[in-house]
Structure 1
Amino acid sequence: MKIREMGERAIIDRISNSLPHNAVLSAGEDDCAVMDLRGDYLLLTIDMLHKSTDFPDKMTPWQIGWMSVAVNLSDIAAMGGYPIAIVTALGLPADTEISFVDEIIEGMNFCAQIFNTNIVGGDTDEHDELTAVCTVLGCVKKEELLRRSGAQIGDLVCVTGELGTAEAGLQAMSMNIPECVEKILTKKLFEPQPRVNEGIALARSGVVTSMMDISDGLALSLYDLGKSSNKGFLINEDKIPILDETRIVSPDLDLPLYGGGDFELLLTVRPDGIEKAKKVCNLTTIGKVTSGDILIKRNGVISKIEARGHEHFIR
C-alpha cells in the first residue's frame, strides 16, 4: 500500500501505534506530546513546512519565517500552555541568497518574541527545496491542561476568530478580485495568528472541556475532536463566523468547513460557563455536543458533515 492511499492521519496513527507509550500523551494523540515534569507538564510539538506545499510564491521570506513558528505555537495554544523555547532546522538549496535566509530568521524571531519565547538552537542542511522544521517546547500547569478528549453531551461548541480565511486567501491569488480584498485574505494566510494568549486564558477559566486548533479545516477538526471524546456535534451553519471578504471568494460553506490554514481554536464549553469563557476570550458559539454523528443544520435541514479537509498525501 502506498502512503497516498492512506492519508496523513492514518500514517500518524500507524507510527504512533508502533512506538512505546511512555508519556502522559504520546505522539499522535493530541496537538502536543505531554511529559510529566512533576509540578507541571512539558508540551512538545513539531511541524515541517515545504516550499512546494506550504509557501506560495507571493510569500516574503519574513512571512515564511513567521508561519514556520506560528503553526507550532498554535499547537501549544491548543493545550492551554505557554511556549518556553524553540529549536529550528532549515533545509536550503545551495543557491539560496543569504539575505533570503536572514529575512526568514527575522520572521521566526519576531513571531517568537511576540509570544514571549526565543529560538535557542537549530541546524541547517542542503535540500532540493526550501524546508523549515520547528520544534516548540511549552509548559502548562497540570490542572490547566486541555485535551481533545473531555467533551460532554450538551456542551457548547465554540471557535475563535473567523473560519475559511486562509483558504480564501489561497484561492484569491488566482482570481480577479479587488486588490484590497486579496491583501486582507493573503495576510491571514501568510501570517497566521496563534491563539496563545486566548488558549492560556481559556485553560485558566476552568470551564473548557476540550480544545484543539483548526489547522486542516473545521470539518476534520470536528471529526478529530469527536473521535477523542467519543461524541458527536450539531453545528449551526448560520453561526459559523466568516469574513465578508471570504464570502466574495466563495459564498458557500466549503471554505470554512473544508479549507485549511486558519489556526483558530475549536473548543467545547460547559453551558453554565459560556459567559465566563466569553469574558476571557472573543468566542463564537457554533453548535453543541451530541451523542451522534457530526452534523450541520442548514436552512432547517440537518445533514452529515463530510470527513474531508486539508490532509497531506491524499490527492
Structure 2
Amino acid sequence: MNRPIPVSGIGERPLIKRISDIFNTGCNPDILIGSGTDDCAVIDISDEDCMVITTDMLHRKTDFPPQMNPWQIGWMSAAVNFSDVASMGARPVGFLSAMGFSKDTDLSFVEDICKGMDDCARFCGTSVIGGDIDTHDELTITGTALGRVQKSELLTRKGARVGDKVCVTGLAGSAGAALHAIENDIDIPDSLLNKLLTPIPRVNEAMKLAKSGAVTCMMDTSDGLAMSLHDLADLNEVGFRIDEASLPIQKEVSEFVTSDPGSLTELALYTGGDFELLFTVSSCMLEAAQSACYLNVIGEVVAREVGIGLMCRNGENLTINRKGYLQLGD
C-alpha cells in the first residue's frame, strides 16, 4: 500500500509537473502550448493570431499584506495575470475574476476591490468581462486573463541560445525589500512600498519587444530572478553568467540596506513579487530591443555545463541557487 504524499512535501513545481502530465494527454490540435510549460496556455484562433490564457489564485493570508488596501488587492489580482500575458508578448483582451468573500464582508470593501481590478485592466488596455462570486471563509480571488498576439510575435520560455544577452525590465528585489521592511517594521518611502503593493504589468514593454523581433525567450520574474533563471536554463538546456554589478537595484533599497552590500544581491536574486520581464536577446539585435523599451543587460547565455553563476564585484564567481518565492511548502 502506497503511503499518502502531502502536496507540501512535493513542492509547487514538481506538483505542477505531475498535474500537467495528466492534463496534457489530449490531442486537441487547437492547443499550441498546453498546461505547465509556459506562463500561459496558447490557443490557435486564426491563420495569423493565437490567444494566450492564464489564471492565478490569491488569498488574504498568503498574498495580500495587511498594509494592502482593497483597491490594491483588486489591482494585484489583475496585475499578476496580466504579467503572464505580457510575458508572451500578447495584447490583453479581457479579464475574468472569481471572488470568494465571507458573509460579513463590507460592501464598500468589495466595491473597492473591483475598482482596483478594473483600473488595472484599463491600464492594460482591456476590461473586466465577467466572473463569479461566492462565500468563502477567507478572501480568495482567482483571476483569468486573455491575450491576443500574432503567431510570428509570440514569445515563449524556449529559444535562448548561447551568446544571447540576458535582460530585465525595471528593477530587481524591490518588492522583496518592501516586504522585508513591512515584516520588520522598517519605515520606507511609498516609492518602494508601491513596488510590492501596486506592481505594474509590463504589457506595453512586452508588446514592443515582441514586435522588435529581438527576443529569443521570455518569462516574468514573479517568483524571483534566480528561480526564473533556473526555469529558463532547464527548458533551454543552457547556463547563465550574471554580472552582480549590473543587477538593477532601486536607490531606495540601497539606502535602506546599508550595513551589508551582499544583502542587496540576495534581495535582487532570491525574492519574488517584482513582476518584471526576464528575457534573452540576440547580440546582433540588442539595439533593436533597447529601442523597444528601457531594459537592463545583466549577463549572457552560456553553455549548460558552465551552470548558472554570478560574477561578483570582487572578482569571485558564485553559483546562483535555485530558490525564490514558492508555495506548497518549498
The normalised TM-score by structure 2 is 0.93
CA distance in structure 2 between the partners assigned to 1:210 and 1:228 by the alignment: 10
Following TM superposition, by how much is the alpha carbon of 1:243 offset from its aligned partner in structure 2, in angstroms? 0.7
Following TM superposition, by how much is the alpha carbon of 1:6 offset from its aligned partner in structure 2, in angstroms? 1.2
Query: What does residue range 235-314 of structure 1 map to in structure 2 within 5 Å?
Result: 235-250=242-257, 251=261, 252=263, 253-292=265-304, 293-298=307-312, 299-314=314-329
Aligned to 1:128: 137
Aligned to 1:42: 51
- 1:96 is aligned with what amino acid? T
Question: SS of the counterpart of 1:173?
Answer: helix
CA distance in structure 2 between the partners assigned to 1:188 and 1:273 by the alignment: 30
Cα pair 1:169 1:182 within 8 Å, conserved? no
Within the candidate set 83, 105, 126, 1:74 is matched to 83
Following TM superposition, by how much is the alpha carbon of 1:175 offset from its aligned partner in structure 2, in angstroms? 3.5
Percent identity between the aligned chains? 47
CA distance in structure 2 between the partners assigned to 1:116 and 1:176 by the alignment: 36
Aligned to 1:146: 155
Aligned to 1:196: 203
Say if 2:23 is the partner of 1:9: no
Aligned to 2:69: 60
- 2:100 is aligned with what amino acid? G
CA distance in structure 2 between the partners assigned to 1:254 and 1:35 by the alignment: 38
CA distance in structure 2 between the partners assigned to 1:67 and 1:176 by the alignment: 22
Cα pair 1:156 1:271 within 8 Å, conserved? yes
Within the candidate set 119, 124, 128, 1:110 is matched to 119
- Residue deviations 1:215-274, cap 9 Å, x none? 011000001111121111000011000012222444321111110100000000000111
Following TM superposition, by how much is the alpha carbon of 1:146 offset from its aligned partner in structure 2, in angstroms? 0.5
Cα pair 1:46 1:133 within 8 Å, conserved? yes
- 1:309 is aligned with what amino acid? G
Aligned to 2:34: 26
CA distance in structure 1 between the partners assigned to 2:185 and 2:327 by the alignment: 28
CA distance in structure 1 between the partners assigned to 2:231 and 2:12 by the alignment: 13
Question: SS of the counterpart of 1:140?
Answer: strand
CA distance in structure 2 between the partners assigned to 1:258 and 1:65 by the alignment: 26
Cα pair 1:172 1:185 within 8 Å, conserved? no
Within the candidate set 202, 206, 209, 2:213 is matched to 206
- 1:274 is aligned with what amino acid? L
Cα pair 1:65 1:107 within 8 Å, conserved? yes
Question: SS of the counterpart of 1:266?
Answer: strand
Following TM superposition, by how much is the alpha carbon of 1:74 offset from its aligned partner in structure 2, in angstroms? 0.3
Aligned to 1:223: 230
Aligned residues: 313
- Residue deviations 1:9-61, cap 9 Å, x none? 11111100111254211111000000111221110000000000000111010
CA distance in structure 2 between the partners assigned to 1:220 and 1:231 by the alignment: 14
CA distance in structure 2 between the partners assigned to 1:174 and 1:66 by the alignment: 22
The worse-fitting range, judged by mean Cα deviation, of 12-21 and 158-167 is 12-21
Following TM superposition, by how much is the alpha carbon of 1:176 offset from its aligned partner in structure 2, in angstroms? 5.0
The worse-fitting range, judged by mean Cα deviation, of 245-254 and 195-204 is 245-254
Following TM superposition, by how much is the alpha carbon of 1:184 offset from its aligned partner in structure 2, in angstroms? 2.1
Question: SS of the counterpart of 1:261?
Answer: coil
- 1:27 is aligned with what amino acid? S
Gaps of 5+ in 1: none
The normalised TM-score by structure 1 is 0.97
Question: SS of the counterpart of 1:18?
Answer: helix
CA distance in structure 2 between the partners assigned to 1:313 and 1:167 by the alignment: 19
Cα pair 1:90 1:132 within 8 Å, conserved? yes
CA distance in structure 1 between the partners assigned to 2:255 and 2:9 by the alignment: 34
Following TM superposition, by how much is the alpha carbon of 1:172 offset from its aligned partner in structure 2, in angstroms? 1.1
Say if 2:141 is the partner of 1:137: no
Question: SS of the counterpart of 2:43?
Answer: strand
The worse-fitting range, judged by mean Cα deviation, of 144-153 and 288-297 is 288-297
Question: SS of the counterpart of 2:324?
Answer: coil
Following TM superposition, by how much is the alpha carbon of 1:183 offset from its aligned partner in structure 2, in angstroms? 2.2
Query: What does residue range 91-106 of structure 1 map to in structure 2 within 5 Å?
Result: 91-106=100-115
Query: What does residue range 174-189 of structure 1 map to in structure 2 within 5 Å?
Result: 174-175=183-184, 177=186, 179=187, 181-189=188-196
Within the candidate set 169, 172, 175, 1:163 is matched to 172
Question: SS of the counterpart of 1:57?
Answer: coil
- Residue deviations 1:114-161, cap 9 Å, x none? 111011111011111100111011111000001100000000000000
Q: CA RMSD in A?
A: 1.1
Moved over 4 A (4+): none
